[in-house]
Structure 1
Amino acid sequence: MGYPKGIVSESEKVVEHKHPHVKMLFVPILTGLVVLGGGGWLAVLARDLDEPWDMVTLIAIGAVGLIALIWLVIAPIARWRTTHFIVTTERVISREGVFKRTGIDIPMNRINSVRFEHSLADRILGCGSLIIESASEQALEYDDIPSVEQVHSAIYFQVSENEYADDPTEDA
């Protein structure tokens, strides 16, 4: 899935586009397997009940299982899929959310510093946190960015390019 249409102007080029690392999906997928396994086990136990309670129990198990799957599995996967971190030649763009969308754009010329952090587990998985300090008072932290060092370098390069493009002494 590409980034949301209409957020990148014709004059800018996308340098990096990332979704959060797939490690965010480990718990929802594991939860889905537990819900399906537990529901199947309870359905087998419900066969031993007398009529009509066996059917009532199966319907209740199915309804609770479906709600659990939607809430604990499908919703996190949809959130992951609709979360975008985009670096263009002019700005850093972050968009997230399914029903309630939130986003922030940081122009490259407003970025003061960019750094990354990753634990040993993050290094093994190839992701980390990206911290962008801009003209605002509080630094913005983006967690679970895949190839965080590559994204860090891309942002740093674009910030440097924009500094030189705005510097009138470089025309000589």
Structure 2
Amino acid sequence: MTATVAPPRTPGTYLVGKYLLPAERVVIVQRRHYAAMATPLAVFFGGFAAALFLDIALPTSAAGARDLIWLAWSGTCFYLAWALLDWWFYRFVITNKRVMLVHGIILRQVDMMPMGKVTDMRYERSVPGRLLGYGAFIMESAGKDQALSRVPFISQPDWLYREICAMLFTPDLIAVAPADEDDGSGAGPGAYRVSWAGFGPEDEDPDAEAR
């Protein structure tokens, strides 16, 4: 009896490719919009401003209090670093079979919803989201317990919404949607953003050259 040896994976697909089925192919993969870092950055810089103000306001004899203040602010540095790593490893993945969220640093988690189980989908764009180019997807399925229901900070939501709708209603076709001015792609109106034909565990990552 011969053991089956899995073929080596192409570098660049390790975060996504190892969760794919043999006949499954990735169509879209994204990180969260950079606006997801707004709260950690606000805590970091706000804490620095507060620590600097207290450092100046305290009398020269309060050296111990100053040390405690800057020690407390150093905690925001670790918080920012952790949030940045979490943003880096986070992936929103659309394959020809399911929708996935791959996230977590120490405890790696994969939330997924089969594409055929998506019964309703909408996305929201707040005023900051419309200005900065991000939105939130809300997905519903036939099941009551959903591991993946709300996906915030989606980049290029208008384009991505059209892509997912095309996959739901015309699954045999790969949509290529024109980029809008507010998509955040930088391509400009009338231009076409690349719609991936997909890649599997053995294929070249289309995003590898950009990195």
Structure-1-length-normalised TM-score: 0.73
Distance 1:163 1:131, change over 3 A: farther
Determine if the alignment matches structure 1 residue 134 to structure 2 residue 141: yes
Alpha-carbon deviation of 1:163? 7.6
1:149 corresponds in structure 2 to 158
Q: 1:102 aligns with which of 94, 105, 109?
A: 109
What are structure 2's unaligned runs of at least 5 residues? Answer: 1-11, 174-211
Question: Which one has a bigger Cα radius of gyration?
Answer: 1
How far, CA to CA, are the matches of 1:41 and 1:25 in structure 2?
24
Task: Name the structure where strand makes up a greater proportion of residues.
Answer: 1
- 8 Å Cα contact 1:3-1:17 kept in structure 2: no
1:23 corresponds in structure 2 to 35
1:90 corresponds in structure 2 to 97
How far, CA to CA, are the matches of 1:46 and 1:120 in structure 2?
40
- 8 Å Cα contact 1:3-1:84 kept in structure 2: no
Larger CA deviation: 75-84 vs 125-134: 75-84
Instruction: Give the secondary structure class of the aligned counterpart of 1:7.
Output: coil
**One-letter code of the match for 2:112?**
D
Distance 1:104 1:121, change over 3 A: same
State percent identity of aligned pairs. Answer: 19
What are structure 1's unaligned runs of at least 5 residues? Answer: 165-172
CA RMSD after TM alignment: 2.9
Structure-2-length-normalised TM-score: 0.62
